Copies of this chain bind each other. A is one copy, B any other.
């Protein structure tokens, strides 16, 4: 029974991985469970056993992102947390940029999810900049609120250009420049 459970879990994760690929290419609206099943090498009926509706699969894709974030971003607010954030910017799967753009529409099933994500990302970044300010590590005149909001937006915006043409956009360099320019202490 434990083995069957494990097998089911692996199958479920395979389907979520296939969905990440399909959403990255076609977005959520234009994709179908049939296409995800095909890519996961499972029948349509087999997929419906794990995910009876399209929205359930989307929820599983977003849950995976949360789990990855929780693992990779766990750090107390401050310079380390910001450095970890910008280091990860280039490793984030493009599926989330794709879905976030689509989810701007208020009736998109991931709209509330991304609104919460953005609110949390802004709050975390602003908290880190506030800690820097208290420690005298933030250049004078820099507002922690705008610095945090702009960092989150910058990561998103750079990722779009970098995904579009990686050779033309120095994603890591641009983020390091942005952060270093706000600090009184050297990065690294």
The binding surface of chain A is classed by DSSP as helix
One complex includes copies of this chain to the number of: 2
Chain A interface bracket (under 10, 10 to 19, 20 to 34, 35 or more): 35 or more
Find out whether the CB atom of A149 lies under 8 angstroms from the CB atom of B163.
no
CB <8 Å contact, A142 and B181: yes
Please tell me if the beta carbons of B158 and A150 are within 8 angstroms of each other in the complex: yes
A115 at the interface (CB under 8 A from B): yes
Chain A positions near chain B (C-beta within 8 angstroms): 24-27, 29-30, 94, 97-98, 100-105, 111, 114-115, 118-119, 122, 141-143, 146, 149-150, 152-158, 160-161, 163-165, 168-170, 173-174, 177-178, 181
Q: Are B174 and A150 in contact (CB under 8 A)?
A: yes
The smallest beta-carbon distance between A103 and chain B, in angstroms, is: 7
